[in-house]
Structure 1
Amino acid sequence: MAFSAALRARQPVAVDARMLGPGGTGVSTYARSLLAALPLVSAAPLLVTARDERGGKPLRVLRALPPFARRLRPAGPAEGIESVTARDIFRISQAYFGLYGRALPLRVAGPPGIMHWSYPVPLRLVGWRNVYTVHDMIPLDRPDLTPIDPRRHARLLRAIMRHAAALLTVSADARQAIVRATGCDDGFVVDCGQPVILPATLPLPPAGYAPGSYFLFCGSIDPRKNLARLAAAWRASGTALPLLLVGPDGWRTGEVLAAVAPGGGIGRLPYQDRAGVIGLIAHARAMLFPSLAEGFGLPVAEAMTLGTPVLTSTGVLAETAGGAALIVDPLDVAGMAAAIARLATDDALAATLAAAGRVRAQAFTLDRFAGRLAAFHDRLIASPPVGPYQRPT
């Protein structure tokens, strides 16, 4: 059933502020995109924030208090919208989950609505339809590629699913992985994708990297991104175009950089703000993103939106690319090298990929994302408020 915009506008909506910091990760970009899309779908969202008190001892505080709900109180505008807050709830919720194995309950005055959590956090808004975005199942499917404890993560997913109205995710591949890993009902997990929102201005690349004269990887420097094989493939390709690695330190960065051995045409820029990253993507000869595991692969979608050719991996990244990229086996260094050599010299191929990417990027507009969210909200409004989730037998 499709509800009118007027009906949706009367449905309170809230979103958490935990991932809205300046970190620049794919998850924080998703959180900002969700915040941008919600006013197109329903009422102006309410932002759930935390009064940060990092000097405190959350476990000591929790042991002194009974496991009752925390009250969210008005806090004035944040991120340009109205907000509610309670003391250090994001950090305390992790300690609460460790002690009690449950999501920390929160209460807020006013009628209930839809609460969007942009990441799996052990929090729930009592009486509201709590929706958690689960971006991938990498901690369970590929625990060798992440520092996240798979057993704790599995317990966390079970805890939030007890109170969730639904789980959102960002790709069909991720949806299937969540259903497979949790055993939940197929309709309990909804793929709404992820939009690309570009900054107003795009700076030029730094000195030494003229537009169209370099290959680019952007993302955190960690084993999941497959950078050692990418560097080996770039060297084997024989190309004269440099390879620029852009992104913050991640897990086991030192080991990755030792294997990559920057220098001799491989450069590295640490954390850049979002406009800087987008400018680098826009001016690259091609985006090289042969990651071993992703939930969506935002750099692929961003490059396509900007008309930059893409080389990426089989699996979920091929789903995101939608037939508009060069797809490689991320374990095949020789095949990757051959693809890089083609991208370096074949202008017709680059033009074809750029044009195909722009067409594919129509799936990543904010309007399309908002439309999928609206359909999802319609489904939630039409269904009765949920109690504890029961795994199907």
Structure 2
Amino acid sequence: MTRIAMDARMLGEGGTGVSTYARSLAAALVRIADAPLVVRSDGARRARLLRALPPGARRLVPGGGHGGISEGLVGRDIFRVAQVHFDLYGRPLPLRAPGPPGIMHWTYPVPLRLLGWRNVYTVHDAIPLDQPDLTPINVRRHARLLRAIMRDAAAIVTVSDDARGAIAAATGCDPAFVANCAQPVILPCEPPPPPAEFAPGSYFLFCGSIEPRKNLARLAAAHRASGTALPLLIAGPDGWRAEEVTAAIAAGGGHVVRLPYQGRDALIGLVAHARALLFPSLAEGFGLPVAEAMALGTAVMTSAGGALAETAGGAALLVDPQDIAAMAGAIADLGRNDALVADLAERGRVRAADFSLDRFAARLRRFYDGLPAPRAT
């Protein structure tokens, strides 16, 4: 069986979609690989520039695993050093690992490559390249980084057909070089109850980072215009330009409640017991909150077109995210039409089956089996 490794860079406890993806990938690798490996850093931070200066390969040594994977390969501060190395030389930092080569799956476009291995990189979206006003990422550097990792990569992985097309168009690569393996939804068997002050079905919910891309100012205005008596709860951490988004929401008034930090279990409980999830984001690579809400049997309103409509797969109420009146009408319908809410919940459960861990693992296995032979180094 071919050795398969992934990086630990995003295997934290954070609630971002990228971190959730990394944890899901680890869970899938445990199912499909005999002895998966995780590449991690020892966390040292001193003299980063000096360690990045030598142009040669760094060596990884055997070490403990992480994120549910028992075996690991460890390098000294490799993730931070790689960023400085890329700024100096414009190419990924090469790594050498003991033992036979295999497949190295990087969960993010990090400037690292494992020599002799088939390196694949998950690129979650093309937003920094085709909608740069919606992200704080340095567009020029990100474009250089993608070109650099693509030169030696065996393939690029992404999470939707929409993202696949956007990545190919933005980078000029062959669309066949980018594979869509989607993203799984992993949830507890029994979601916890919502907070005591919110009865099941008595609120609408948005969950995600507070930033312009999430379209919260328009959502709050649409909620106010809908005339619904149900409050809109907003659960998520501050993101890029959160202060101005929060100020715009507050200036409009209405029954909008910004919740304090919610742990993973509490957030799942909020989603599971909401009247509906409202997620009219302006741009996403996949839209994990939509898939999770459907899996939990919660009705969803989300954006028409793009990755969100693809993920919804006909099982959500779709709206133009730029049209406040259209969103207001959809919110009003969700607030008063029990039959609509029940129908969306049922269709959502069916659609969410496509995002099970088993199906994700099967897609990954087919993807790995179809990779070209490793390049000579």
TM-score scaled by structure 2? Answer: 0.97
Q: Does 1:128 align with 2:117?
A: yes
Q: Residue deviations 1:273-330, cap 9 Å, x none?
A: 2222111110100000000000000000000001100000022101100001000000
- Residue type at the aligned position of 2:167: I
Structure 1 runs (4+) deviating above 4 angstroms are none
Letter in 2 for 1:352: D
Is the Cα–Cα contact under 8 Å of residues 215 and 288 in structure 1 kept in the other structure?
yes
Q: CA separation in 1, counterparts of 2:230 and 2:131?
A: 33
> In structure 2, the residue corresponding to 1:351 is in which secondary structure?
helix
Match of 1:49 among 30, 36, 40: 40
- The answer for the alignment partner of 2:60 in structure 1 is 72
Q: Which residue of 1 is the match for residue 370 of structure 2?
A: 379
Q: Is the 8 A contact 2:52 2:82 kept in 1?
A: no
Find the partner of 1:30 among 2, 21, 25. Answer: 21
CA distance in 2, matches of 1:171, 1:324: 16
User: 1:185 and 2:174 equivalent?
Assistant: yes
Which residue number corresponds to residue 115 of structure 1?
104
Count of paired positions: 374
Q: Is the 8 A contact 2:8 2:66 kept in 1?
A: no
How far apart, in 2, do the equivalents of 1:116 and 1:77 lie?
15
Distance (Å, rounded) in 2 between the aligned partners of 1:152 and 1:368: 35
- 2:126 and 2:65 map into 1 onto residues whose CA distance is 34
User: Which letter does structure 2 place at the counterpart of 1:68?
Assistant: G
Change (3 A) 1:268 1:367: same
Residue number in structure 2 paired with 1:358: 349
1:1-393 matches, within 5 Å, as 10-54=1-45, 56-63=46-53, 66-80=54-68, 81-261=70-250, 264-314=254-304, 315-380=306-371, 383-386=372-375
Counterpart amino acid of residue 294 in structure 2: M
Q: Does the 8 Å CA contact 1:97/1:104 hold for their aligned counterparts?
A: yes
Following TM superposition, by how much is the alpha carbon of 1:387 offset from its aligned partner in structure 2, in angstroms?
A: 5.6
For the 8 Å contact 2:5–2:37, the answer to whether it is kept is yes
Identity %: 69
Matched position secondary structure for 2:198: coil
2-structure distance, mates of 1:202, 1:360: 19
Aligned partners of 1:384 and 1:209: how far apart in 2? 55
Given that residues 164 and 386 in structure 1 are in contact (C-alpha distance below 8 angstroms), is that contact kept between their aligned partners in structure 2? no
Compute the RMSD of aligned alpha carbons: 1.3
1:325 maps to amino acid: A
> For the residues of structure 1 that align with 2:11 and 2:125, how far apart are their CA atoms?
19
CA distance in 2, matches of 1:12, 1:61: 29
Mapped to 2, the partners of 1:318 and 1:38 lie a distance apart of 28
2:67 and 2:108 map into 1 onto residues whose CA distance is 18
3-state SS of 1:74 partner? strand
Q: Are the equivalent residues in 2 in contact too, given 1:249–1:270 (CA < 8 A)?
A: no
Deviations 1:31-68 (A, max 9, x none): 000100112222221011101123x13123323xx211
Please state how far the C-alpha of 1:86 moved relative to its aligned partner: 1.0
In the TM superposition, residue 247 of structure 1 has moved relative to its aligned partner by 0.6
Instruction: Output the CA distance in 1 between the equivalents of 2:174 and 2:242.
Output: 38
Displacement after TM superposition at 1:212 (Å): 0.8
2: distance between equivalents of 1:313 and 1:271?
25
Deviation of residue 201 (structure 1)?
A: 4.5
Aligned partner of 1:300: which letter? V
Task: State whether residues 222 and 251 of structure 1, in contact with CA within 8 Å, keep that contact through their aligned partners in structure 2.
Answer: yes
Q: Runs of 5+ in structure 1 lacking a partner?
A: 1-9, 389-393
Tell me if the contact between 2:58 and 2:94 (Cα under 8 Å) persists in the aligned partners.
yes
Aligned partners of 2:260 and 2:130: how far apart in 1? 28
Per-residue displacement from partner, 1:56-104 (whole Å, max 9, x unpaired)?
13123323xx211111111223334111111111111000000000100
Q: Structure 1 residues 138 and 45, CA, compared in 2 at 3 Å: closer, same or farther?
A: same
